[in-house]
A and B are shown apart, each in its own frame.
Chain A
């Protein structure tokens, strides 16, 4: 059995973690925590970490003992420098809270790339996890911001992504809010849907790594996939319905843009992939699955496949890393432009202020 650590850092990470906990209750009712028990496919420990206590209070399905407020902080105001300092000041306490939960084989660190606490804490926590746990696989789940959210957020996203790459995580799963906001008209509902989608896919992934499968994919395969390409990728998902005529079309559906968390052309951009198919024995045709995966391999390269026998409609989860990320490059360009603009605004403001002060230069106060 896999020992899984799921950390939700910052407001966004907390909410995704809460969605994971909600999903583990069955995911249907707001009151399910009162009459149901959490069911994880593996031994899963969850911990929400935040510098803002109000963000922790908003959580509904995460138990109180799994919420950790970094003392003496009331948020970091999207300032990564303050965030980093806050982490160093409380590092032992934070890591002790994590280590108290035991040993782990894999850790998912879920956060927003653009927030204050998440973007500053996450690279440091990943680094600490790699230092303290010898064989742990650390996967960062990074949520990219709406492009119009503001220059600080874009700047935070750019620098935090670089920091994470530098601390050598085992991979980054990208989730792009800008890409996914098409799911709903209003921001609140869009956030909730994105969080639910991420939670469902990650739990599916954990289940697939820790199940008796007809065709095995394990943690090693997953690590191989995540280390391919740029070391960053995303998740695709497809659930069969009446319109789905074959498993082949269902597998293709899981890698189409509509089923992805980050905009990518899998056939052109993907480096490695893992396709996990879950469904009842009657609905799964191994030959058809094998042919479909082989067809995909000819275009992508290495594709691992896993088949899980479980009652219900066929569900497909695709995990892949990317060899090129043009959208991320655009984000960095936007972030650089935003930094330049911010710098220019500050220079102009400083000059205006200096010009204003020039009027009273050499003058004394007279009373």
Chain B
């Protein structure tokens, strides 16, 4: 029983005994809270981070090239507010710095006009930092934004074809784009530039405004061409320089388009002596360009003049035969003397400024004059044989 009383008494007495020890431990914690810690953050303009009661906001990237940004640091429930332009890789103390309970910030890297990476040093007891987005960041910015588009009127081209390239620059931002300079690809060796090159765009474009430049060029060599991007550089009202570029364009330059005439002749079979025969001629353009000033002429190679034109003529001319199309004509001839006549057809035509020629040959046979009485001669031996057999039959028939 006395043991139970002792235990209860001990339990009741324990808080009183432990209290001086707890006070000593609290003194130790205060010493620990004075220690600092650091952490790195990535910010976009308008974003901030809560570190204890401090708030750190990235106002803007002043200059990427110079490594300058503008930040705002303030403390909740106090009058402390500090706007400052910070330099790249240089520590900046706010509210006397981290050693004295404030903040020490350092710009580690500036990615672009919007994004930076910073390191914050602060007292360890400020807890785990939390990022947040300010109302200002969510509000639309008054910045110009250019969209660049480069188009060609055709991508399926052949050597010698003319191609029109259209560069269109549109300001899709909400501020005026200034000092606009368009840099097109350097002159490509695969093309010969005709007019409008290099393309010129207005110096300034208001929000929503667009401008275009057109230039033309002629494909010179055969092969695949990858046209480089067209870059537009511009600045906003703060002279911040931006750039925008168009997607690249691939063009295949095929061999030069040429007409290709094919002469097809349907000659008549052997013509009887004094008979007539019809020659059908087809001039087909199997090329991929029109043939102009087509002249078809016929030449009889054989000696003598045993063929006489009766109707139509083998010589013919056509102004144009488009690719894939054909022209047909026919002529009737009369064979006035037997023999084999070789006829050569020559088609001369113009394509892409140069004269071309195609030819084909065929033969027309005129048969010998038919002597029908010769057929009767074949009957004679048959008759003789028949007569012989009949005579023998009668000789031995009793």
Is B392 part of the binding interface, using a Cβ–Cβ cutoff of 8 Å? yes
How many residues of chain A are within 8 Å of chain B by beta carbon?
12
B65 CB to nearest chain A CB (Å)? 124
Q: Which of A333-366 contact B (CB under 8 A)?
A: none
- Chain A residues whose CB sits within 8 angstroms of the CB of B397 once the complex forms: 64
Whether A33 pairs with B398 at a CB distance below 8 angstroms is: no
A42-77 vs B, CB cutoff 8 Å, 1 = contact: the mask equals 000000000000001101111111010000000000
- Chain B residues whose CB sits within 8 angstroms of the CB of A63 once the complex forms: 395-396
Give Cα A62–Cα B388 distance, bound, in whole angstroms: 17
Whether B389 pairs with A34 at a CB distance below 8 angstroms is: yes
Q: Which of B111-139 contact A (CB under 8 A)?
A: none
- Chain B residues whose CB sits within 8 angstroms of the CB of A56 once the complex forms: 398
Q: Which of A148-200 contact B (CB under 8 A)?
A: none
B379-397 vs A, CB cutoff 8 Å, 1 = contact: the mask equals 0000000001100111111
Whether B389 pairs with A67 at a CB distance below 8 angstroms is: no
A143 CB to nearest chain B CB (Å)? 22
Whether B392 pairs with A64 at a CB distance below 8 angstroms is: no
Whether B389 pairs with A64 at a CB distance below 8 angstroms is: no
Residue of A nearest to B393 (CB): A34
Kindly identify which residue among B389, B394, B396 contacts A60, using a CB–CB cutoff of 8 Å. Answer: B396
- Chain A residues whose CB sits within 8 angstroms of the CB of B389 once the complex forms: 34
Q: Which of A1-52 contact B (CB under 8 A)?
A: 33-34
Give Cα A56–Cα B396 distance, bound, in whole angstroms: 11
A38 CB to nearest chain B CB (Å)? 11
Give Cα A34–Cα B392 distance, bound, in whole angstroms: 6
How many residues of chain B are within 8 Å of chain A by beta carbon?
9
B395 CB to nearest chain A CB (Å)? 5
Q: Which has the most chain A C-beta neighbours within 10 Å: B392, B393, B395, B396?
A: B396
A354 CB to nearest chain B CB (Å)? 48
Residue of B nearest to A61 (CB): B396
- Chain B residues whose CB sits within 8 angstroms of the CB of A33 once the complex forms: 392, 396
Residue of B nearest to A56 (CB): B398
B383 CB to nearest chain A CB (Å)? 16
Give Cα A59–Cα B396 distance, bound, in whole angstroms: 8
Residue of B nearest to A63 (CB): B395
Q: Which of B260-300 contact A (CB under 8 A)?
A: none
B213 CB to nearest chain A CB (Å)? 106
- Chain A residues whose CB sits within 8 angstroms of the CB of B396 once the complex forms: 33, 60-64
Residue of A nearest to B389 (CB): A34
Whether B392 pairs with A67 at a CB distance below 8 angstroms is: no
A342 CB to nearest chain B CB (Å)? 36
Give Cα A62–Cα B396 distance, bound, in whole angstroms: 6
- Chain B residues whose CB sits within 8 angstroms of the CB of A34 once the complex forms: 388-389, 392-393
Whether B398 pairs with A59 at a CB distance below 8 angstroms is: yes
Q: Which has the most chain A C-beta neighbours within 10 Å: B394, B397, B398?
A: B398
A323 CB to nearest chain B CB (Å)? 43
- Chain B residues whose CB sits within 8 angstroms of the CB of A65 once the complex forms: 395
Give Cα A59–Cα B388 distance, bound, in whole angstroms: 20
A34 CB to nearest chain B CB (Å)? 5
Give Cα A87–Cα B291 distance, bound, in whole angstroms: 109
Whether B398 pairs with A57 at a CB distance below 8 angstroms is: yes
- Chain B residues whose CB sits within 8 angstroms of the CB of A62 once the complex forms: 396
- Chain A residues whose CB sits within 8 angstroms of the CB of B398 once the complex forms: 56-57, 59, 64, 67
Give Cα A67–Cα B395 distance, bound, in whole angstroms: 11
A64 CB to nearest chain B CB (Å)? 5
B387 CB to nearest chain A CB (Å)? 12
Q: Which of B351-398 contact A (CB under 8 A)?
A: 388-389, 392-398
- Chain A residues whose CB sits within 8 angstroms of the CB of B394 once the complex forms: 64
Give Cα A10–Cα B371 distance, bound, in whole angstroms: 58
Residue of A nearest to B395 (CB): A63
Give Cα A64–Cα B397 distance, bound, in whole angstroms: 6
A137 CB to nearest chain B CB (Å)? 29
Give Cα A63–Cα B396 distance, bound, in whole angstroms: 4
- Chain B residues whose CB sits within 8 angstroms of the CB of A67 once the complex forms: 398
- Chain A residues whose CB sits within 8 angstroms of the CB of B388 once the complex forms: 34
- Chain B residues whose CB sits within 8 angstroms of the CB of A57 once the complex forms: 398
- Chain A residues whose CB sits within 8 angstroms of the CB of B395 once the complex forms: 63-65
Give Cα A65–Cα B398 distance, bound, in whole angstroms: 8
Give Cα A43–Cα B33 distance, bound, in whole angstroms: 167
Give Cα A61–Cα B392 distance, bound, in whole angstroms: 10
B183 CB to nearest chain A CB (Å)? 109
Give Cα A34–Cα B397 distance, bound, in whole angstroms: 12
B68 CB to nearest chain A CB (Å)? 131
A74 CB to nearest chain B CB (Å)? 15
Give Cα A125–Cα B389 distance, bound, in whole angstroms: 35
Residue of B nearest to A21 (CB): B396
Give Cα A271–Cα B395 distance, bound, in whole angstroms: 44
A227 CB to nearest chain B CB (Å)? 37
B59 CB to nearest chain A CB (Å)? 133
- Chain A residues whose CB sits within 8 angstroms of the CB of B392 once the complex forms: 33-34
A210 CB to nearest chain B CB (Å)? 26
Q: Which has the most chain B C-beta neighbours within 10 Å: A59, A63, A65, A67?
A: A63
B321 CB to nearest chain A CB (Å)? 70
Residue of B nearest to A62 (CB): B396
What would 21 A/B residue contacts be, using CB atoms closer than 8 Å?
A33-B392, A33-B396, A34-B388, A34-B389, A34-B392, A34-B393, A56-B398, A57-B398, A59-B398, A60-B396, A61-B396, A62-B396, A63-B395, A63-B396, A64-B394, A64-B395, A64-B396, A64-B397, A64-B398, A65-B395, A67-B398
Question: Which 6 A-B pairs give the minimum distances between C-beta atoms?
Answer: A64-B398, A63-B395, A67-B398, A34-B392, A57-B398, A56-B398
18 further interface pairs, Cβ-Cβ under 8 Å (given A59-B398, A64-B397): A33-B396, A34-B388, A34-B389, A34-B392, A34-B393, A56-B398, A57-B398, A60-B396, A61-B396, A62-B396, A63-B395, A63-B396, A64-B394, A64-B395, A64-B396, A64-B398, A65-B395, A67-B398
